[in-house]
Amino acid sequence: MRTWVITAGILAALAAPAAGHTVNTDNLNVRSGPGTTYSIVGTLTRGTMVNVVGTSGTWSKIDGPKTGWVSTQYLTASSHSATVNASSVNVRSGPGTGYSIVGTLSNGTMVTRAYTSGDWTKITSPKTGWVSSQYLSVGGTSTGTSDFIWPMTGQLIGVWDSQRASGPHHAIDIGDKIGIPIYAARGGTLSRRDNPTGYGYYVSVTHEAGYRTVYAHLSAYVAPNGAVAKGQYIAKCGDSGNAKGTQPHVHWEIWRYDAKVYMPGTVWSRVTAKTAYPYNYSGI
Ligand SMILES: [Zn+2]
């Protein structure tokens, strides 16, 4: 009887939903076993969501989008849940428009993500199949436990390491129209700034543990200098500074002490203001 109870407990633990995982390094080797002595069977690029099905020491076993083992240190927790952000989104049998349509999803439907392949996301509920990632807003609507929230609703027109004449782009650009509200991604202390040849009108918000967020190319300030709450309306989207002539957007950066820190995001995907930014930052 005791043996039966222990076995049932292990089965329950395996069946419990776990956090999603996203690759946090440029090229992650997938190996045939849990160690660097095993052969490389593939690589994964930064931002790819993987499905972890088991662990051994410091290694994680994955079954999507590739099958094998990866070093757990190169995975960051991410959200399994996402919301459909367009009407009548096709679910397909594979990751591309060449695959057959197996169903459709309406705007606002909550889905469960398993893993990603290129610009496509494999979902497991309410239907099983593949959806173009641009039609999914990741993170649901809960802001309770996320480190940061998306500061504006719009489309990601620039992401981490987008090609720029001026060098690597270590920021996220969320594009929409002039005047769209921008919200504080986390509570802190706001200061208004101006750099006419670069960021244009911008604000900087300092947070705990050495973190700071920057919101650039504003058309107007809204919150005064001083304390702001997470989700507080702080400024309006614009194209000031060196964004003149581009689509209006907020150029959003996260800093820790004197360095910009990595920010995930899928180019051309749509995001919703005040929903959870799906990344865990150390120290907060
Ligand atoms: Zn930018």
* Phi and psi angles of residue 145, each rounded to the nearest 5 degrees, phi first: -120, -5
How large a percentage of the chain has pLDDT more than 70? 91
Spell out the residues 6+ positions from residue 258 whose beta carbon is closer than 8 angstroms to its own.
Answer: none
pLDDT (average), residues 101-110: 87
Q: How far is the CA of 269 from the centre of ligand 1 (A)?
A: 15
Q: How far is the CA of 96 from the centre of ligand 1 (A)?
A: 28
Q: How far is the CA of 197 from the centre of ligand 1 (A)?
A: 14
- CATH 3.40.50.1950 for domain 81-142, yes or no, is no
Q: How far is the CA of 65 from the centre of ligand 1 (A)?
A: 30
In this prediction, residue 182 carries a pLDDT of 97
Q: How far is the CA of 213 from the centre of ligand 1 (A)?
A: 13
- Collapsing DSSP to helix, strand or coil, 24 comes out as coil
Q: How far is the CA of 124 from the centre of ligand 1 (A)?
A: 34
Q: How far is the CA of 151 from the centre of ligand 1 (A)?
A: 14
In this prediction, residue 145 carries a pLDDT of 56
In this prediction, residue 14 carries a pLDDT of 40
Report the residue count for the chain.
284
Q: How far is the CA of 166 from the centre of ligand 1 (A)?
A: 11
Nearest to 172 by CA among 189, 201, 149, 196: 149
Dist. CA 68–CA 61, nearest whole Å: 6
Q: How far is the CA of 262 from the centre of ligand 1 (A)?
A: 14
Dist. CA 19–CA 14, nearest whole Å: 13
Dist. CA 237–CA 135, nearest whole Å: 22
Q: How far is the CA of 171 from the centre of ligand 1 (A)?
A: 6
| CATH pick for 154-271 out of 3.30.465.10, 3.40.50.11540, 3.90.550.10, 2.70.70.10 | 2.70.70.10
Q: How far is the CA of 8 from the centre of ligand 1 (A)?
A: 51
Q: Kindly list the distances between the CA atom of residue 58 and the CA atoms of 16, 264, 282, in Å, as whole numbers in the listed order.
A: 20, 23, 18
Q: How far is the CA of 85 from the centre of ligand 1 (A)?
A: 23
Q: How far is the CA of 58 from the centre of ligand 1 (A)?
A: 35
Residue 217: CB atoms within 10 Å: 26
Locate CATH 2.30.30.40 in the chain. Answer: 8-77, 81-142
Tokens describing residue 85: 């952000």
Q: How far is the CA of 48 from the centre of ligand 1 (A)?
A: 22
* Contact criterion met (CB below 8 Å) for 255 and 204: no
* Contact criterion met (CB below 8 Å) for 235 and 215: yes
Q: How far is the CA of 266 from the centre of ligand 1 (A)?
A: 14
pLDDT (average), residues 23-30: 91
pLDDT (average), residues 159-178: 88
Element (H, E) at 117: strand 110-117
224-239 pLDDT, tens digit each? 999 988 889 999 999 9
Locate CATH 2.70.70.10 in the chain. Answer: 154-271
* Contact criterion met (CB below 8 Å) for 54 and 63: no
* Contact criterion met (CB below 8 Å) for 241 and 217: yes
In this prediction, residue 198 carries a pLDDT of 94
Dist. CA 277–CA 72, nearest whole Å: 21
DSSP per-residue string spanning 188-221: EEEEEEEETTTTEEEEEEE-GGGEEEEEEEEEEE
Given a cut of 60, is residue 77 above it in pLDDT?
Answer: yes
In this prediction, residue 63 carries a pLDDT of 93
Q: How far is the CA of 178 from the centre of ligand 1 (A)?
A: 15
Residue 268: CB atoms within 10 Å: 13
Band (10; pLDDT cuts 50, 70, 90):
very low
Q: How far is the CA of 164 from the centre of ligand 1 (A)?
A: 9
- CATH 2.30.30.40 for domain 8-77, yes or no, is yes
Spell out the residues 6+ positions from residue 208 whose beta carbon is closer than 8 angstroms to its own.
Answer: 188, 284
Dist. CA 257–CA 25, nearest whole Å: 21
The answer to which of 89-103, 160-174, 197-211, 250-264 has the lowest mean pLDDT is 160-174
Using alpha carbons only, give the angle 256, 257, 258 rounded to the nearest 5 degrees. 105
Is the entire prediction scored with pTM above 0.85?
no
* CA dihedral of residues 114, 158, 237, 274 (deg, nearest 10): 20
In this prediction, residue 18 carries a pLDDT of 53
Given a cut of 80, is residue 94 above it in pLDDT?
Answer: yes
